[in-house]
Amino acid sequence: MALLNFKKREKTVAPASGQLEAFLQGYSIEVMPRTAEKVENFRDLLPTGTRVYIAHIEGTPIEDMVATAKRLATDGYPVMPHFPARIIKDKATLTDWIARYQGEAGVDQALLLAGGVAEPHGDFESSMQLLESGEFDRAGFKRLHVAGHPEGNKDIDPKGGMQNVMDALRWKQKFNETTDAEMALATQFAFDAKPIIKWADDLAAAGITLPIHIGIAGPAKLQTLIKFAIACGVGPSLKVLQKRAMDVTKLLLPYEPNDVLNELAAHKAANPDFNIEKVHFFPLGGIKANANWAIENGGDAGKPANAS
C-alpha cells in the first residue's frame, strides 16, 4: 500500500494553518528538574492535559525527579518520567523508583530507553530488559513509550544502517501484544520531513504499527541546535541546519520548526493512516520559547491552562 501511494504522497503541498493546528493537538514537551525550576508557573505556558516528559540525566538524584513529577502532576499535567536502563543499578532500584513515582506523584506512564551512557551502571542495558522485568505491568502502568530513531542510531548500529534498530523495534512490537499498557515510539528529533516520512512508511511496511510521537526541536539559536544535533547523532537532516547556517541573513535568526512541521502536517492530512500520531517537543531553546511557539501555532487550540 505504501508503494501504491508513493506518487500521491510526493505531491503534498504546504498546509493551511488548520492542518498544522490539527497536527499539534495533544503535543507533549520535555523538561529536566533543573530547567523546570526556572518555570514559575507551568499553567501560564502549557494547555491543560499536556503530557510532560521528565528527562533523567545521569547524576540527577531520584528525589529531584520525583519532586518535579509531583509538582507537574499537582498542576494537572500527565507526567512521563524517563527510565534510562543503563543508570538503573538493579531490579530493586527500578522497583523503588516506580514506587516513589506512584506514591508521591501518581505516575502511571513512562519512557523506557537505554540511556545516554556508554557502560551500564548495573544489571540493565536496554529498554527491552526493563520491559522484560515485568515491573511496569505489575505496577499497573497505563502507558509505556520506547525510543525511535528516524535516522538510525550509531550506539545501536555502530557501522551505520538500521538492522539492529529494526530488530529491536520488531521485538517491541511483539511485546506490545503481551502488555495491557498502551505503547508508542517517542523519537529522536530531526529537521527534515522527507526522511521522517520514509522511516515511518518503512516501519509500517515491516509490520511495526506502534504509534509514533515524532521528536521535534523547538525554537532555538541555530548554533545551539547544531551543537545538540551533533551530540545526539542526528543524521542526514542535520544538513537542513548546515544549509541555513551558510545564509548570513539567517545565521543570527532563531530556528523555528515551521517547515518540517508544515510538511508533516500536510502529509498527515493527505494520508490519514500515516502512523505519526503526536508531536513531542525538545525545548532546546527554552521551555517558554517552545510553549509560546506552540500557542501561536494553534497547539491544543493555542491556549495555556491559565488563559481566560
- Asked: is 6-10+17-221+257-294 a CATH 3.20.20.220 domain? The reply is yes
User: Which distant-in-sequence residues (6+ apart) come within 8 Å of 33 by Cβ?
Assistant: 54, 60, 64, 65, 67, 68
Q: What is the Cα–Cα distance from 180 to 141, expressed in whole angstroms?
A: 8
How far is Cα of residue 146 from the mean position of the Cα atoms in its chain? Answer: 9
What was the pLDDT predicted at 1?
35
Q: What is the Cα–Cα distance from 82 to 115, expressed in whole angstroms?
A: 9
Query: 301: which 3 cell numbers?
Result: 487550540
User: Which distant-in-sequence residues (6+ apart) come within 8 Å of 7 by Cβ?
Assistant: none
What was the pLDDT predicted at 224?
75
What was the pLDDT predicted at 118?
80
Closest C-alpha among 15, 70, 29 to residue 292 = 29
Contact in structure between 215 and 186 (CB atoms under 8 Å)? yes
Residues 58-97 as b or e (16 or more Cβ within 10 Å = b): eebeeebbbbbbbbbbeeebbbbbbbbbbbbeebebbeeb
Cα-Cα-Cα-Cα torsion 143, 300, 262, 253, nearest 10 degrees, comes to -110
What was the pLDDT predicted at 4?
37
Hey, is 91 helix, strand or coil? helix
Closest C-alpha among 196, 192, 218, 200 to residue 24 = 218
What was the pLDDT predicted at 299?
80
What was the pLDDT predicted at 152?
64
Helices 62-74 and 91-105, axial angle in degrees (round to 10): 30
Q: What is the Cα–Cα distance from 218 to 285, expressed in whole angstroms?
A: 7
Closest C-alpha among 29, 34, 38, 42 to residue 65 = 34
pLDDT means over runs of 10, the chain (308 residues): 36 58 96 96 94 96 98 97 97 98 98 88 95 97 95 62 84 96 94 93 96 95 74 64 62 81 96 97 94 89 71
Question: Left, alpha or beta for 300 (phi > 0: left; psi -120 to 50: alpha)?
Answer: left
What is the pTM (predicted TM-score) of this model?
0.87
Q: What is the Cα–Cα distance from 145 to 157, expressed in whole angstroms?
A: 21
Q: What is the Cα–Cα distance from 174 to 129, expressed in whole angstroms?
A: 14
Q: What is the Cα–Cα distance from 39 to 304, expressed in whole angstroms?
A: 14
- Rounded to 5 degrees, what angle do the CA atoms 107, 36, 221 make? 125
Residue 6 burial class via C-beta count within 10 angstroms: exposed 0-12, middle 13-18, buried 19 and up: exposed
What was the pLDDT predicted at 230?
65
